[in-house]
Amino acid sequence: MTVADIDRILREVASAGDRFNAVTEMLPELARERAGEAAQRAAEGLPPRALEGQPFAVKDIVFIAGAPTSMGSRVDVLSHPDARTGTADVIQRLMAAGAIPVAKTNCQEFSHGIFGEHSAFGTVINPAGAQLCTGGSSSGSAALVAAGAVPFAVGSDTAGSVRVPAGCQGVVGFKPTLGAVNTDGVFPLSPSFDTLGFFTRTVSEAVRVFSAVVDFSAGAPASVAVGTFELSAPHWIEDGADYLDTTTPVDLEPFIEGSGALYDTVRKYESFRILGPLAEDQPEAFTPGVLDRVKQSADVSEADYQQALADVEALRERALAQFADVDVIVSPALDGGTVPWDSIGPDARPAFVRYSQLFNVLGWPAITIPTGRKYANGAPACLHIAGKPGEDATVLAVAAEVERRLQAEAKAEQQTDPQAGAN
């Protein structure tokens, strides 16, 4: 990687950023500095690091020294206690592995929403189809990866904000176990559920990125017990990964129903403590939709919050007991795939978070992977794979095997029947 190489990449990223409204800030000085370091290391004969010369983008809630951080908002947050002047731990780790930050990405204002429709910088355009909802809140990071502008990007996931845009835009979106990746230097929404995650084009790339920021070994298990939930085409799993030990239906419905109110109570209480003072001081700087959501979060009492936290812990214990014999749980990524923007109504949210939000409440690792298929409206068809806390390696190993076989199957179908990709 040379400075000339990084200048070309910066131009390509800026072009994709303009095309898909995905970039809030380019990082040319930092990128050239890191590229210069990579070139110097190569000249000295030093071995390449794990992510040597890999450009990446960063959701614009992650602080980088010397670069503005907008949170997708016009609100002035410099005096906020959660604002930082230094560089977030995750970025330091990625740079130490040789990766080069090139851009900060557009996102839902303060990560407050699952569709990605509210940003002071306008809505991101979905590379999978301009008419399709991008998902949020990490919509710009997903778009740059989907557009092929960067090999990976950093996002955050509180109710699915990595996995949902990945499912909407047809890329890999990995949310590690809660707490596995240090969130220091990341503007919070709900610290009880906030998790940093990564967008990549393949599962193997997700493994490389995750391995660069945590002490992690991606050894594949010899066999895996899989629970499936509401899969319209379970043969995708049964045929796609025949090394899996057992594949049986599981019932997540009681946990989905039980986790919804707990999530709402905890998220509302925590997010209002963070954003409420800003909304009171600078209401005119917020997008109207997010300002309304902040105001609607004001009514949770301390007692209700503490009870919800206790109930979350109890739900986590119940889930571990209920699924003791299951290694991973596989479901669709979204309930029916993403939809056109003009179909997003007041009741659309449950379909987007049905398979993702639960695993934020449980704290389990989970990943969205594209299948190589599409729905009739052109939306990518994706799977969601979740595992138990600390079992990130199992989740990634299963995802890699399923991804390989699913995409090979889809390619074979396309060669024999060009219409086979639609559901």
Crossing angle of helices 203-213 and 392-416, in 10° steps, is 160
Q: Which two tokens stand for residue 111?
A: 């990560």
Query: Which amino acid is present at 252?
Result: L
List beta partners, residue 419.
none
Position of tokens 């503490």?
306
Q: Are 395 and 200 in contact (CB under 8 A)?
A: no
What is the residue-wise DSSP string for 153-175? EEEEESSSTTHHHHHHHTSEEEE
The rounded Cα 306 to chain-centroid distance in angstroms is: 28
Known catalytic membership, residue 190: no
Q: Which of 122, 164, 119, 112 is nearest to 18 (CA)?
A: 122
Q: Which of 346, 345, 331 is nearest to 385 (CA)?
A: 331
Phi and psi angles of residue 391, each rounded to the nearest 5 degrees, phi first: -100, 40
The rounded Cα 319 to chain-centroid distance in angstroms is: 23
Cα(97)–Cα(91) distance, integer angstroms: 10
Q: Are 160 and 186 in contact (CB under 8 A)?
A: no
Known catalytic membership, residue 59: yes
Known catalytic membership, residue 161: yes
Cα(72)–Cα(61) distance, integer angstroms: 8
Name the DSSP letter for residue 110.
G
> Among residues 119, 138, 156, 161, which one is catalytic?
161
Residues 6 or more apart from 24 whose CB is under 8 A from it? 60, 70, 72, 104, 105, 106, 121, 140
Name the DSSP letter for residue 189.
S
Cα(50)–Cα(233) distance, integer angstroms: 37
- Which helix or strand (DSSP H or E) is residue 322 part of? helix 302-322
Q: Are 163 and 157 in contact (CB under 8 A)?
A: yes
Question: What sign does the dihedral 145-149-153-157 (CA atoms) show?
Answer: negative
Position of tokens 């731990």?
89
Q: Are 262 and 363 in contact (CB under 8 A)?
A: no
> Among residues 137, 139, 192, 259, which one is catalytic?
137
> Among residues 59, 268, 374, 388, which one is catalytic?
59
Catalytic residues: 59, 137, 161
